[in-house]
């Protein structure tokens, strides 16, 4: 059992689940024969069982927001249907059998997994982390208080914000600040950044800054922060992909 997908598929619209050789052949044909499709290749992957998907919005190396989602069913042709999204407590109740400890275990492993990916990206970029990236992770409850995680996708900067209301402001503010990493803003540009910073603070923290706030993306970019607050203390390895890595 596995999946076939077109690269850059939007919200699994061109991801087909198959079973057996005949199913694989049918999936390959259905995707390669789409009207207007000129893709030179298709991706074929193992099927990873999961309880839900955790979409981690990583801003300047920090997980700033998580969206919990899944698809309710697979149609007769192998395509997933009926997208569902829950807040954290809803994900625990509906997809983890109410197991809060399993969610906490998954979060520790996801934090470690994200840290590994950010280290890899830093090496590829030879510099600070990208201003924003969404790292999607499959989560599966494997027992009381236990969960397994697998990387599903590292997105391009044009990722969907889904229900994250403050996402566009935070993400694009971070992107703007990254444009000045090598030269720094002039006086006029600094004034514009300060105005944007004020708007960011009022929007993100209407009741004032919390103790855990590390400042807006502008401030973090200005001091060249390349550290991450993602860590894990359970000493477990997290998979970076299809179940055997």
Q: Contact at 8 Å (CB) between 69 and 83? A: yes
Asked if 154 and 195 sit in the same domain, the reply is no
Asked if 146 and 178 sit in the same domain, the reply is no
Is the residue at 233 inside a domain?
Answer: no
The encoded tokens of residue 1 equal 């059992």
Asked if 99 and 21 sit in the same domain, the reply is no
Asked if 9 and 68 sit in the same domain, the reply is no
Give the range among 86-95, 97-106, 107-116, 119-128 with minimum mean pLDDT.
119-128
Q: In which band, very low, low, confident or very high, does the pLDDT at 236 lie, cut at 50, 70 and 90? A: low
Full DSSP string of 177-216: HHTTTTT---HHHHHHHHHHHHHHHHHH-TT---TT----
CB atoms within 10 A of CB 66: 16
* Domain span including residue 7: 1-47
* CA atoms within 13 Å, Cβ hemisphere of 32: 12
- CATH number of the domain at 142, please: 3.30.470
Is the residue at 41 inside a domain?
Answer: yes
Average pLDDT on 39-45 reads 91
Asked if 134 and 184 sit in the same domain, the reply is no
pLDDT number for residue 211:
41
Nearest to 59 by CA among 153, 136, 149, 135: 135
Q: Which of 4-18, 65-79, 119-133 has the highest mean pLDDT?
A: 65-79
Is the residue at 221 inside a domain?
Answer: no
Dihedral (Cα; 51, 229, 163, 177), 10-degree rounding: -150
Asked if 29 and 53 sit in the same domain, the reply is no
Asked if 99 and 191 sit in the same domain, the reply is no
- Give per-residue pLDDT as tens, 149-208: 999 989 888 899 999 999 999 999 899 888 877 777 778 878 887 888 788 777 777 776
Asked if 90 and 107 sit in the same domain, the reply is yes
Asked if 154 and 93 sit in the same domain, the reply is yes
Is the residue at 114 inside a domain?
Answer: yes
Instruction: Report how far residue 13's alpha carbon sits from residue 10's, in angstroms, rounded to the nearest whole number.
Output: 6
Provide the β-strand partners of residue 18. Answer: 2
Q: Please work out, in degrees rounded to the nearest 5, the angle formed at the alpha carbon of residue 62 by the alpha carbons of 223 and 66.
A: 150
Question: For residue 32, is pLDDT > 50?
Answer: yes
Is the residue at 110 inside a domain?
Answer: yes
Asked if 144 and 86 sit in the same domain, the reply is yes
Is the residue at 58 inside a domain?
Answer: yes
Structural domain count, the chain? 3
Is the residue at 234 inside a domain?
Answer: no
pLDDT number for residue 125:
76
């Amino acid at each position: 059992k596995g999946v076939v997908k077109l690269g850059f598929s939007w919200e699994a619209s061109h991801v087909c689940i198959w079973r057996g050789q005949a199913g694989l052949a049918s999936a390959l044909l259905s995707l390669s024969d789409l009207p207007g499709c000129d893709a030179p290749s298709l991706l074929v992957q193992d099927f990873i069982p999961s309880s839900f998907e955790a979409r981690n919005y990583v801003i300047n190396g920090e997980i700033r927001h998580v969206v919990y989602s899944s698809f309710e069913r697979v149609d007769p042709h192998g395509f997933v249907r009926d997208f569902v999204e829950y807040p954290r407590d809803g994900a625990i109740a509906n997809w983890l059998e109410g197991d809060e400890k399993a969610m906490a275990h998954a979060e520790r492993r996801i934090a470690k997994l994200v840290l590994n990916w950010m280290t890899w990206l830093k090496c590829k970029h030879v510099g600070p982390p990208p201003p924003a990236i969404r790292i999607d992770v499959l989560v599966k409850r494997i027992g009381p208080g236990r969960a397994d995680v697998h990387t599903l996708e590292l997105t391009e900067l044009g990722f969907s914000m889904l229900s994250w209301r403050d996402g566009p402001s935070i993400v694009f503010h971070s992107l703007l600040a990254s444009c000045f990493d090598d030269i720094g803003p002039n006086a006029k540009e600094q004034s514009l950044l300060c105005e944007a910073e004020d708007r960011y603070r009022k929007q993100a923290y209407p009741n004032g800054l919390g103790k855990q706030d590390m400042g807006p993306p502008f401030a973090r970019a200005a001091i060249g922060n390349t550290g991450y607050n993602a860590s894990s203390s359970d000493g477990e390895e997290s998979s970076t992909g299809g179940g055997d890595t």
